[in-house]
Amino acid sequence: APRGADDRFRIASITKTFVATVMLQLESEGRLDLDDSVETWLPGVVRGHGHDGRKITVRQLLNHTSGVFDFLDDPVYEKKYLTDFVKNRLLTRTPQEALDAALAHAPTFAPGTDHAYSNTNYVLAALIMERVTGHTYEYEVRTRIIQPLRLRATVLPGDSALMPKPSGRAYSKIGESGDGARIYDVTHQNASQTWAEGDMISSAGDLNRFFGALMRGELLKPQQLKAMKTTVFDSGYGLGIEKLTASCGKELWGHGGGWVGSLSYAATTEDGRHSFALNLNGDWDASGVGAVLVAEFCDAP
């Protein structure tokens, strides 16, 4: 059936921008410091196989320079939650299960020496958020961002497998065979399998409102917004957000999100006046996303 402009969809890793925004708000309130060690807030949690939370900072979690192994690259975890996704998609996954999978491996590199995207970073960031505030990650995002901006289509689904209406179906080629020959309807899936690293549900309109407000300084003070937009190495990645340069030279800020059955991207100009979000309800071909962004930001009058 045709997609609708108001459709809700799983935004996957765009969730990370919401998490980073809350962490920066907490810093502006003096409740944490970006240069606090992970050990300060999560004593003894990040240990094993060379990982050491005493040497990793909150900032390094948010900009993916921690070197913490990405749990999605653990073969056992990958088989359970990706290769066998269709069979296991209604299982509840805890944050600890993700951490256990990550910390069973050596770090990707020493903290602060390189950049590599790791979903484990945002599991740890959300656990720190919860330790600092005494509230759930969901409560903090809801009360600090969703309610003030009136993002009525944005949901933190917890362990629900349901999609709010209106929404389309979600399709995937990730299945037991692993050969990509069959397309599966994966609309219903337990959202806990992505948690704070990628569980949120939203709409294009709400994402446009959020990213526009973020860049206009409605959610962060100037010092924190500057920190968010400070990119590392040659990655273009800041704190939960990335900088893009379109083929026409226009600079954009945004984040992508890909998970089983869904590919999304949200971007905005630096002044927050022109925002655009899109979703594909299939997970096997993102090749057209760049062309759509160029059409929106470069070709549109």
**R_g of the chain, CA atoms, integer Å:** 18
Please choose, from the candidates 65, 13, 24, the residue with its C-alpha nearest in 3D space to the C-alpha of residue 214.
Answer: 24
CA–CA distances in Å: residue 55 to residues 37, 44, 110: 7, 12, 9
Residues 140-164: pLDDT tens digits? 999 999 999 999 999 999 999 999 9
251 forms bridges with which residues in the sheet?
245
pLDDT at 227 over 80: yes
Q: What is the mean pLDDT of the chain?
A: 96
User: How confident is the model at residue 176, as a pLDDT?
Assistant: 63
Span of 47-51, 90-94, 113-117, 286-290 with lowest mean pLDDT: 286-290
Q: What confidence tier does 179 reach under pLDDT thresholds 50, 70, 90?
A: low
pLDDT attached to residue 112:
98
Tell me whether residue 37 is one of the annotated catalytic residues: no
pLDDT classification of 1: cutoffs 50, 70, 90: confident
Q: Which of 13, 37, 66, 167 is catalytic?
A: 13
The full set of domains in the chain, from first to last, is 9-299 (3.40.710.10)
Is pLDDT at 31 greater than 90 in this prediction?
A: yes
Q: What percent of the chain has pLDDT over 70?
A: 97
Confidence of residue 41 (pLDDT cuts 50, 70, 90): very high
| DSSP classification of residue 2 | -
* Tens-digit pLDDT profile for residues 73-124: 999 999 999 999 999 999 999 999 999 999 999 999 999 999 999 999 999 9
Give the C-alpha separation, 193 to 129, whole Å. Answer: 19
Claim: this prediction has a pTM higher than 0.85:
yes
> Torsion angle, CA of 62/65/71/72, rounded to 10 degrees?
90
pLDDT of residue 247: 86
Question: What Å distances lie between residue 2 and 129, 166, 171, 280, 296, CA to CA?
Answer: 39, 12, 14, 12, 21
Q: Compute how many other C-beta atoms are within 10 angstroms of the C-beta atom of residue 169.
A: 14
pLDDT-derived band at 279 (thresholds 50, 70, 90) equals very high
Please list, in sequence order, all residues whose beta carbon lies within 8 angstroms of the beta carbon of residue 53, skipping any fewer than 6 positions away: 37, 38, 39, 42, 43, 44, 45, 46, 47
